[in-house]
Amino acid sequence: MPQNTQQSGGQPSLLGLRSAIVLVFGVLTGIGAGLLTYLAQRSVPAALLAAGAGFGAGVLFFHTIIS
């Protein structure tokens, strides 16, 4: 059961540490996929689609392996 972490002001934090790490790694995966796709095809729409897919896949992957 996840615990509510407290900030210094006594209010619960908006996002837990594990969730923040998973999302950051997902964003980095999406940026990498989008950048590599743009460099290969020089197409912004294709790069954005690849970045979105990379983000989703990265979040699912890191959610699974980070405990």
Percent of the chain with pLDDT over 90: 79
What does R_g of the chain's alpha carbons equal in angstroms?
16
26 Cβ contact partners less than 8 Å away, ≥ 6 residues apart: 55, 56, 58, 59, 62
Q: Which of 29, 16, 34 is nearest to 57 (CA)?
A: 29
pLDDT band of residue 4 (cuts 50, 70, 90) is: low
pLDDT band of residue 12 (cuts 50, 70, 90) is: confident
- Report if pTM > 0.85: no
Q: Which of 54, 63, 16 is nearest to 36 (CA)?
A: 54
Q: Which of 22, 53, 48, 21 is nearest to 35 (CA)?
A: 48
pLDDT in tens, 31-55: 999 999 999 999 999 999 999 999 9
pLDDT at 6 (0 to 100): 61
